[in-house]
Chain A
């Protein structure tokens, strides 16, 4: 029943848009024309032109996500377990996190060129801090009784790290997967949009330069679809990785 309502709602919005464009109430110059937009999308997939750009955007996203997550986990564990280093670095971390990092894109373009590397760098700066703060929190919130129990069971420092701190921290990382994958994607697209030679963001930039609003909307729709697919993949991974955690609703009951 809900599905039917959803389809109806989507159809209604598209129809309104279409009628608006046809009658000129919504100027096609600024708002595009749904039929033309879907023609552009269809064309992209028929000719296969879009795949190259999508592949690049997704590669950038995944690389930024992987690099940001790995270094975020490493740095979070390190600082989580050495309070003194954390105390020293704290203001720097706060400053780096407070900085609107999207503005780094032009600098990364100068440093790393217009290829994939500068996009990965921007996505990295976005993902890193999300993961870092989650790991820091995870390390701090390991229940002391679990820690003492592992020590009494004979765990060495390395084994504590591997079997207690890391799993505790990873549970926080996993629960922030949606945000960090989303941020990696945002980083890739924004960096493409600010200067690139390929990628979906680049397609949008090109179209915008020619005032081709239909192609801009087509790019946005493709990006949205892509983000939804990524999000679905994360949800799948999540249920696999967090089997040991009680579901949120069950936790509230107990």
Chain B
């Protein structure tokens, strides 16, 4: 059974069609990357998968069940600053377990353990504004993973980080994912990031009415090191094949943006 499936999903905001008949799926334990030009509606697809918005037509299936309301099987790693600024790192990570009704002590213990796993041991008492961008992303990751969701939705989570921090975090993400194989839907506009992380790359058309137009299986060996794998011949070949498709969409998006 697919962990997540889009069946001919369309979304309109008024007259504008943002998503136009999108169909794709994420298998159990699969790491799928969605790539598309900037502004094509990638985040909207993720919000549909999360149940934060409902489709105008079509269905989103979660583990075979049609999604109504929030997707309770999924954790969502947002692109922006989603930590609660009035809570310390520890309290932010403990928020999910607390919401679920765990005692403060149990929630704090779980949060402490996850802070350790993302490399933030000893930083639990810091507030978000006292942390670097990379630390905040780590805290966000811990905040999402502490609830152990079987599905992980990630919206360009590392796009705001500098290149070194970004590659470190990508490797850590892979290590964590390797350990318990969640089903991941990862959104990015960075093709290299998509290839180095995922099992399958889905290319989205330029907006409006975005939808998947091509799919590529990534047969690169795991475990991977995201910095090193980019230097391999196989990686370069895969990138060239996908870029051939993606380039046209990027150009379309660019012309539409230039015309507007």
Residues of A within 8 A of B (CB): 143, 145-146, 148-156, 159, 163-164, 167-168, 171, 243-246, 250
Query: Looking at chain B's contact residues, is the secondary structure mostly helix, strand, loop, or mixed?
Result: loop
The interface residues of chain A lying within 8 Å CB-to-CB of B76 are 148-149, 152
CB under 8 Å from chain A, chain B span 60-109: 70, 72, 74-76, 78-88, 95-96, 99-100
Interface size class of B (residues with CB under 8 A): 20 to 34
Interface residues in chain B, defined as those with a beta carbon under 8 Å from any beta carbon in chain A? 50, 52, 70, 72, 74-76, 78-88, 95-96, 99-100, 127-129, 143-144, 147
Q: Is the CB of A150 within 8 A of B86?
A: no
- What is the minimal beta-carbon distance from A59 to any residue of chain B, in angstroms? 31
B143 pairs with A244, CB closer than 8 A? no
CB distance from A69 to the nearest CB of B (A): 18
29 interchain pairs, CB-CB under 8 A = A143-B80, A143-B81, A145-B79, A145-B82, A146-B85, A148-B76, A148-B82, A149-B78, A149-B143, A150-B84, A151-B70, A152-B52, A152-B70, A152-B76, A152-B144, A153-B96, A153-B143, A153-B144, A154-B72, A154-B96, A154-B99, A155-B99, A163-B95, A167-B84, A167-B86, A171-B86, A244-B88, A244-B128, A245-B85
When C-beta atoms are compared, the residue in chain B nearest to A250 turns out to be: B129
A150–B70 Cα distance when bound, in Å, is 12
Chain A contacts of B87 at CB under 8 A?
A: 244
Residues of B contacting A244 with CB < 8 Å? 85-88, 127-129
Within the assembled complex, what's the spacing in Å between the Cα atoms of A159 and B81?
20
Whether A151 lies near B52 (C-beta < 8 A) is yes
Closest B residue, CB atoms, query A251: B129
Docked complex Cα distance between A85 and B107 (Å): 37
CB-based nearest B residue for A147? B82
Tell me whether A146 and B100 are in contact (CB under 8 A): no
Which one of B72, B76, B147 has the greatest number of beta carbons of chain A within 10 Å? B76
- Report whether B50 and A159 are in contact in the complex, using a CB–CB cutoff of 8 Å: no
In the bound complex, CA of A151 to CA of B70 (Å): 8
Q: A163-B84, A167-B86, A245-B129 are in contact. Are A152 and B50 (CB under 8 A)?
A: yes
If A143-B81, A146-B83, A167-B86 touch, whether A243 touches B127 (CB-CB below 8 Å) is yes
Report Cα–Cα, A153/B97, bound state, in Å. Answer: 8
**B86 vs chain A, min Cβ distance (A):** 4
Taking CB atoms, residues of chain B closer than 8 Å to A164 are 84
Nearest CB on A from B152, distance (A): 11
Distance (whole angstroms) from the CB of B186 to the closest CB of chain A: 16
Question: Nearest-CB distance from A151 to chain B (Å)?
Answer: 6
- Closest CB in chain A relative to B26 CB, distance in Å: 17
Known: A149-B82, A151-B70, A245-B129. 19 other contacts (CB 8 A): A143-B80, A143-B81, A146-B81, A146-B82, A148-B50, A149-B78, A149-B143, A150-B84, A152-B50, A152-B144, A153-B99, A154-B96, A155-B95, A156-B99, A164-B84, A168-B86, A171-B86, A244-B85, A244-B86
Chain A's nearest CB lies how many Å from the CB of B202? Answer: 22
| Pairs of residues from A and B, 10 with the lowest C-beta to C-beta distance, nearest first | A149-B82, A246-B129, A153-B96, A145-B80, A152-B76, A167-B86, A244-B127, A154-B99, A244-B86, A145-B82
What's the nearest-Cβ distance from chain A to residue B134, in Å?
15
B35 to chain A, nearest CB (A): 22
List, in ascending order, chain B residues with CB within 8 A of A155's CB: 95, 99
Docked complex Cα distance between A146 and B80 (Å): 9
Q: Give, as a whole number of angstroms, the nearest-CB distance from A127 to chain B.
A: 23
